[in-house]
């Protein structure tokens, strides 16, 4: 124990080698043992003729050998592993997925890929990665958190190492807040003990009790170990609508000045966002210490979606249902959405949400 702590302290990256990363090998030994047992037990049970038995043993030995050599990868192919994919592959998968599937969010792609790649390739990370995704409804926050999860764990949100909490669903009653706090802390501790690279997604942060946010705080901080557990490899993703007005304001400003949406820079958003989220009394972030202690590494602004993006969403939805794309229906569905502000009608009220429900009307007869 003391040795392990010392190894962690001098930053030798010992934490990677210890724990779950070892599991496949232990598993490999167990499997090899099982195979040997099987070979011992097989002959009397089946009374095979000597020659084919000899061949079978040779074959089994050969396959056991190659199996053991490539075992961790093979093992992780069939059974999910913590710390499984190489960071370069994660970053490439993430970039590809965002480029192909996410519309109209140039800032999001840039920040998210940079943040995740940087974090995963930093063996000496001083704290877990904390991303805070902000923006108007239906602009892709849950969608992106799902894509991030899938880039790291193939099973995405269904992975045993990915945990999603929805404030209004999992923590609905203000009077049970102390119970929730204890529960949440023990879940985070328990899951990170099992897999250091656990991903926690907190949806509807703006409706989350401030007390609960404070309960998460210690895990996000710059500690080496908390009760013997290191949280430095974990990833926390927070989703909220807080700051959406501010983001829209900036985007609208650009539009009104005849500037391109794609020319909006991160710096146009980030300070404004952090200040507006912090000062908004209705958002759970208010008086929480996440922001003033700089525990959030990246604020990720989601821009409101325009008519053309809604059309792109409709197209994807039609294709995913396996229908031929009918341009007429595509336009009709996009036209049915409502747009704001009143005069210019540029941004979709609900982003790409409800697009699929509207499609039902045209297709499922
Ligand atoms: N920018 C986008 N590019 C492509 N598809 C999108 C985008 N935004 C939303 N969608 C589609 O719309 C669906 C709903 O979006 P999502 O649930 O991610 O919105 P949200 O930002 O979480 O909204 P809310 O704040 O209401 O929770 C997604 O599953 C996705 O199919
Ligand atoms: C991990 O988190 C889930 C909730 O997502 C919880 O049900 C489970 O008990 C946690 N596991 C441990 C070991 O704490
Ligand atoms: Mg959402």
Beta strands 339-340 and 199-203, pairing class: unpaired
pLDDT(65) > 60:
no
**160 CB under 6 A from ligand 2?**
no
Q: DSSP assignment, residue 154?
A: T
pLDDT(297) > 80:
yes
The torsion angle over the Cα atoms of residues 266, 272, 275 and 280, rounded to 10 degrees, is: -120
pLDDT(50) > 90:
no
- Binding-site residue numbers are 135-142
Q: Give the residue carrying structure tokens 């008086």.
A: 287
Fold of 87-302: Rossmann fold (3.40.50)
User: pLDDT class for 138, splitting at 50, 70, 90?
Assistant: very high
Give pLDDT, residue 38.
45
153: left (phi over 0), alpha (psi -120 to 50) or beta: beta
Q: Are 229 and 192 in contact (CB under 8 A)?
A: yes
Please say whether the dihedral angle defined by the alpha carbons of residues 253, 257, 261 and 263, taken in this order, is positive or negative.
Answer: negative
- Ligand 3 center to 301 CA (angstroms): 14
Q: Are 91 and 120 in contact (CB under 8 A)?
A: yes
CA atoms within a 13 Å half-sphere pointing along the CA-CB vector of 35: 18
* 55-60 contacts, C-beta under 8 A, 24 or more apart: 60/35
The torsion angle over the Cα atoms of residues 25, 29, 30 and 33, rounded to 10 degrees, is: 170
pLDDT(61) > 50:
yes
Instruction: Give whole-number Cα distances, 233 to 76, 116, 187, 224, in Å.
Output: 19, 11, 16, 11
- Among all ligands shown, which has an atom nearest to the Cα of 206? 1
Nearest CA to ligand 2 atom 8: 187
User: pLDDT class for 40, splitting at 50, 70, 90?
Assistant: very low
Give pLDDT, residue 16.
36
Domain ranges across the chain: 19-78, 87-302, 307-363
- Binding-site residue numbers for ATP are 135-142
Give pLDDT, residue 287.
53
Across 262-294, b (16+ Cβ under 10 Å) vs e yields: eebebebbbebbbebbbebeebbbbebebbeee
Q: Are 282 and 115 in contact (CB under 8 A)?
A: no
Give pLDDT, residue 360.
85
Give pLDDT, residue 361.
85
- Among all ligands shown, which has an atom nearest to the Cα of 357? 1
Q: DSSP assignment, residue 286?
A: T
**353 CB under 6 A from ligand 1?**
yes
Calpha distance 30→202 (Å, rounded)? 38
- Ligand 2 center to 163 CA (angstroms): 8
**208 CB under 6 A from ligand 1?**
no
pLDDT digits (tens, 9 = 90+) for 317-350: 999 999 999 999 999 999 999 999 999 999 999 9
Instruction: Give whole-number Cα distances, 109 to 9, 19, 113, 117, 300, in Å.
Output: 34, 33, 6, 12, 9
pLDDT(112) > 70:
yes
CA atoms within a 13 Å half-sphere pointing along the CA-CB vector of 134: 27
pTM of the model: 0.81
Nearest CA to ligand 2 atom 13: 190
- Ligand 1 center to 27 CA (angstroms): 40
pLDDT digits (tens, 9 = 90+) for 141-184: 999 999 999 999 999 999 999 999 999 999 999 999 999 999 99
**270 CB under 6 A from ligand 1?**
no
- Ligand 3 center to 324 CA (angstroms): 29
């Amino acid at each position: 124990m003391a040795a392990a702590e010392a190894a962690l302290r001098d930053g030798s990256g010992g934490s990677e080698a210890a724990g779950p990363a070892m599991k496949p090998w232990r598993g490999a030994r167990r499997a090899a043992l099982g195979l040997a047992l099987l070979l011992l037990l097989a002959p009397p049970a089946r009374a095979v003729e000597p020659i084919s038995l000899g061949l079978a043993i040779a074959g089994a030995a050969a396959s056991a050998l190659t199996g053991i050599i490539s075992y961790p990868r093979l093992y992780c192919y069939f059974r999910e592993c913590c710390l499984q994919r190489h960071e370069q592959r994660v970053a490439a998968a993430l970039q590809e997925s965002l480029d192909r599937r996410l519309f109209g969010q140039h800032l999001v792609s840039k920040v998210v890929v940079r943040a995740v790649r940087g974090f995963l390739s930093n063996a000496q990370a001083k704290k877990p990665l904390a991303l805070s995704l902000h923006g108007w409804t239906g602009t892709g926050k849950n969608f992106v958190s799902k894509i991030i999860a899938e880039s790291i764990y193939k099973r995405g949100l269904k992975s045993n190492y990915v945990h999603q909490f929805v404030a209004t669903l999992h923590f609905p009653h203000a009077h049970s807040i102390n119970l929730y706090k204890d529960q949440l802390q023990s879940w985070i501790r328990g899951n990170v003990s099992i897999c250091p690279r656990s991903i926690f997604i907190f949806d509807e942060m703006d409706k989350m009790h401030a007390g609960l946010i404070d309960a998460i705080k210690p895990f996000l901080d710059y500690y080496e170990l908390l009760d013997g557990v290191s949280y430095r490899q974990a990833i926390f993703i927070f989703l909220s609508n807080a700051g959406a007005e501010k983001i829209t304001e900036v985007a609208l400003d650009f539009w009104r000045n005849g500037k391109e949406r794609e020319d909006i820079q991160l710096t146009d958003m980030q300070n404004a966002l952090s200040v507006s989220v912090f000062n908004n009394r209705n958002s759970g972030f208010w008086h929480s210490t996440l922001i003033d202690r700089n525990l959030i590494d990246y604020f990720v602004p989601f821009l409101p979606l325009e008519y053309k993006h809604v059309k792109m969403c409709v197209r994807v939805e039609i294709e995913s249902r396996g229908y031929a794309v009918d341009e007429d229906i595509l336009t009709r569905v996009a036209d049915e959405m409502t747009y704001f502000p009143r005069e210019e009608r540029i941004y979709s009220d609900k982003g790409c949400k409800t697009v699929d429900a509207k499609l039902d009307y045209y297709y499922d007869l």
